[in-house]
Structure 1
Amino acid sequence: MDIEAWMIRKLFRMNEGSQDQDCTSQGASFREKNDIIFTYRRVSSRSSATVMLEERPNTVHEVKMAVAKSLGECTDNIDVIDKATILETELSDSVTDDIVEVMIHRESRRVPKEKRTRKEDMFEGDMADGDRIEMSCGHAATPENIYRYCLTKLNSNDLGFKCMECSTIWDFAEIACKADMSEDESVFFTRKMSDVFIAESNDIRECPQCRSFCTRIDTNNKYVACQVCKENGRTSYSFCWECYRPGVHPHNCQHKHTQDVLDNCQRVTMQYSDIRGVPQVRACPKCELFIEHESGCKTMTCTKCHHVFCFSCLKSAVNGHLICGQYDSICTVAPVQKIGAKRNK
């Protein structure tokens, strides 16, 4: 092969290689332009983290996969949080619009060697897997069983963390320590416990405008002016202590707690599920705040205690999801409620 032919072939190969390289570069550039930046934050952290993804996660499982990829965690150790609720399958509207919060669980929970006991696990007896630790009441369990038991009660808005054997009340400090909680778990428990306490208190309300907590000095006055709104330069915001609607004196509260309102309200049809004959006014099954159904599906969230329930059959939701079917499914129509029945039991 002469020198001229050799040079021509070499130049051809160089050009061919550069074309391949350009194609590869263009392909990489194209993929980068289509990637999205997914932002999440751990419950215990004020700072957020990001991970590059080809598509934005649309389900809880997809969020877990993205966070697992970013942190090198197992998806089983990750929960997606909406305020103080653990989401199971679908993302709520507030989660899809904002930074997603996640809780990272312990992969394994340890018991210090000097605190291990041979006592039976109060939940599973000798069948319990792992070391056990003794609680202040004298009964024992594995840290994982302690944690799961208390988390189940917390998700049911029950703050009565009691020993399964003797019903002794455990305080949170002991639970957090002996369940070997992660920082995320501890913060989530604290947040959820605060929400449950506030929801059950008649002396604290959440301002419908700024979401700050308010108390009232005069318990006979149902018109409350939020001081946080005023201090932050917002228009002074007043609302009704009973129905949460903006209130200007004199305020005609549309949800006065009388049995007559429930007995004589109109019957409506649920738009999406076509359930007919549903009372237009219901009392929240948890706090008995009167709620009027104006439009939309049968899923209802109480503005006072944030309890989620079906407006038709009145069954409470589990982890934010109705147990009587999807928002557009048919279910039974519960009879007119009797207010005060819970208190009179």
Structure 2
Amino acid sequence: SREIFVIHQECPSCHQSNVGVLDGQCAVCKSCSKLKRCVFQFCLACQREWPRGTPTTNSCTLPNCALRAALLSNTKITDQHSSVRGCPYFRACPRCKALLTHNGKGCPNIICPQCNTHFCFRCLRQYCPGIQNIETLGFLTHRLSFFQNNDVIPCRVVDNKQSLNVFGL
């Protein structure tokens, strides 16, 4: 089962929910505005400060707003039969930043349709030796011979913070 994309309703600075929506994606934090003695506006979607001196519009004009918003979403894959259960619904390709999701079938490894990069949807590594369905991964089988049993790092679901940092988002 899939869930609806969720937008944060808290301030990215103080993490309180004392926010008011001004127009579209633009919100104001009452607590931070009081503390900073100026109106603190931010984008509800990408959770970054609204550019000062720009008019409040319905849409955020900050670069990569939609990509950042999708990666910040707390929506997770909940299908109990999926190999990527517990993963964020959206991932960014580690090479080209294409926004991707997993179909829930087969192993957790995917190939980006944009740039053909192979990576694990769970741990975001290009060559994941700790996956469960190894017999279905012909392109990875030869990589496993380089790892001893005690050297295999288990494949764990990571959040999207790593992608946000790598991409400077």
TM-score w.r.t. length of structure 2:
0.41
**Structure holding more helix per residue:** 1
TM-score w.r.t. length of structure 1:
0.22
